[in-house]
Structure formats: structure tokens, C-alpha cells
Amino acid sequence: MRKKFVRYIATLTITLFIVLTPLFTEASRPILIEGAMECETNFLIEKLQNPQEQRIGGWRFISGDYEGIPVVVSVTSVGMTNAAAATVLGIETYHPFAVINQGTAGGHDAALHRFDIVLGAETIDLSAWVSKRENKGADGRHIELRPTYYYDDGIEKQEVELKADSELLKVAAEEGKNYQAGKVIVGKISSSNNWNRQIDRIRFYNEKYGSSCEEMETHAAAHICKNYKVPFLGIRILSNTEVYNEDFDPATGLACQQYVLEVVKAYAKNKQIKTDA
């Protein structure tokens, strides 16, 4: 009888270990936070406990804990290619629970000013377009956006707009009610390697495609996360807007990072993400 009991306890222990270990491992996976420039990442890095820096190729990653939450900060550098490459490396190396690409942006929506934040319910690639066939002229409004291609279980798919993870978006929107430096809206983030200062073009992108703001990384990171099926959200703060002739203010980068950390805390609480003891 005693031997049967011992075997039962041993079997139960092994079974629990097999079942629960993946759950604990899942809960300790980090949240990957991306930013292109120092003014978009320095505060995040300063807030990490036990920071460990790693360089992979030309890209910099700093892993650590933020209030008991495993976090990796990725300094992607500027541009679509850098963002895509850093996101691939970050996912392959750290296997994050979710990815947040955040930082500064230029305004498209006339309802927005500096320090207002856009949560990217969708992202679009403003560099991917086809023009109408015309023998004369070069009107940049005569275009249609082309889709982004990605794979879903080996099947190639295409979408013009890539959607954010619904749960991340919901948490960020709820946390936006506590943001004091401006307002937080759910909108559309446009990405390309261009910096557009033409008011008519800005108005066109806003009116035709619903673009809230423009920057140079978010859609590329969203594209990679789509392929990997990793939850993703883009968060962008207006650092400048040509609509109101408001010039770039690097202090907006700090405000965005502070808000993002509040989003991370709320999301980690919902998902029970925490550092292994």
C-alpha cells in the first residue's frame, strides 16, 4: 500500500511539473518595448533593475525588471529596415509575450497637438503605393496604397492596414484616462522613411486614409509581429505638427515613455506576467 502511495505521489508531482512549468515559463516572458532614438528610450532603460545589455549586429537590447515585470528595451535606430531587423532579433532572442513600439511622431490629424498620444488601432505603410497612369504631372494625391504581405500558417496574405492586438489596445486606452500631459486617442499610425512637411499632403493622408500621425518604424515592427503572431501595439506621441507649426520637442519622448510604463504595468497585471523568483 505504501509503495502504491509513493508511486502515486511521484506520478502526481511529475504530472504537475509537466503541466505547470510551461505556464510559469509563459508568464515570465518579457514585454519588448521598442524606441528608435535615445530621447525615446533613455528613461525606460534608467527604470530597469538589474539591466543587462546585449548588442546583436548593430542593434542594442537592454533586458531587466521593471517593478517585477520582465522587460526588454530595444533601441532600434531610425527607419523601417532598422525597426524590422530589431524586431526579428528581439523576438528570436527574447521570445517576448508582447511588443510595444513607441516614440515620437508628426501630426496629421488637425484635432491633435504636441504631447497628444495616438494608439495605433491600425498601422499603414505610406511608402507602399501605386500611382495612376498619367502622361504628364506628378500629383502625389493620385495614388492608392499597396498591401503589406505576410504569412499565416504558410499561406501568404495581404492587408493594407495591420491591426493592433485588441487586449493591448484596450488596456492602453483605459490607461489613457490617467494621462495628464495631453489627450490619448485611438487612431491610425502611418509609417515610411519620409518626413513630410507639406500641409496639403498631410491633409490628404488624413482625409483619404484616416492617418492620425506619421513616423518611421511602427508599421515595420507590426509587420514582423504579424508574421510571428506576437501581440503588438504602436504608441506614438506627437512631438511636432506642421498643421499648427509646432516644432519638434524632445521632452515628448519622456512623456511617452512614462505613459508606456503605465500601460506595461496594467497589461502585465492582466496577464500575470512577472519575473521568475
pLDDT digits (tens, 9 = 90+) for 26-54: 778 999 999 999 999 999 999 999 999 99
Cα 163 from Cα 121, distance rounded (Å): 6
Give percent above pLDDT 70 in the chain.
Answer: 91
Q: How confident is the model at residue 238 (pLDDT cuts 50, 70, 90)?
A: very high
**3 has pLDDT over 90:** no
- Cβ partners under 8 Å of residue 231, min gap 6: 97, 98, 99, 165, 167, 168, 225
Q: Read off the pLDDT of residues 248-263 as tens digits, 9 standing for 90 and up.
A: 999 999 999 999 999 9
**22 has pLDDT over 80:** no
Residue pair 267/20 in contact by the 8 Å Cβ criterion: no
Mean pLDDT of 66-95: 98
Q: How confident is the model at residue 9 (pLDDT cuts 50, 70, 90)?
A: low
Cα 142 from Cα 139, distance rounded (Å): 6
What is the enclosing helix (H) or strand (E) of 184?
A: strand 184-191
Which pTM was predicted? Answer: 0.89
Mean pLDDT of 79-83: 98
Q: Look at residue 2 in the predicted model and tell me its pLDDT.
A: 59
Q: Look at residue 16 in the predicted model and tell me its pLDDT.
A: 40
Q: Look at residue 196 in the predicted model and tell me its pLDDT.
A: 95
What is the enclosing helix (H) or strand (E) of 85?
A: helix 80-94
Tell me the pLDDT of the chain averaged across its residues.
92
Q: Look at residue 156 in the predicted model and tell me its pLDDT.
A: 95
Cα 206 from Cα 196, distance rounded (Å): 13
Q: Look at residue 59 in the predicted model and tell me its pLDDT.
A: 98
Cα 62 from Cα 213, distance rounded (Å): 28
**96 has pLDDT over 80:** yes
Q: Look at residue 137 in the predicted model and tell me its pLDDT.
A: 81
- Cβ partners under 8 Å of residue 59, min gap 6: 74, 75, 76, 77, 82, 85, 86, 89
Mean pLDDT of 97-112: 98
The tally of CA atoms less than 13 A away on the side-chain side of residue 158 is: 7
Q: Look at residue 17 in the predicted model and tell me its pLDDT.
A: 45
Reported in sequence order, the residue ranges of 31-183 that DSSP labels E, i.e. its strands, are 31-35, 49-56, 59-66, 69-75, 98-107, 117-125, 129-131, 143-145, 148-152, 155-159, 162-163
Residue pair 83/40 in contact by the 8 Å Cβ criterion: no
Mean pLDDT of 236-255: 97
Q: Look at residue 135 in the predicted model and tell me its pLDDT.
A: 86
**194 has pLDDT over 90:** yes
Residue pair 153/161 in contact by the 8 Å Cβ criterion: no
Q: Of 52-66, 110-124, 144-158, which range is least confident? A: 144-158
**4 has pLDDT over 80:** no
Q: Of 29-33, 198-202, 235-239, 273-277, which range is least confident? A: 273-277
Amino acid at 141: R
**243 has pLDDT over 70:** yes
Of 71, 82, 78, 77, nearest to 44 (Cα)?
Answer: 71
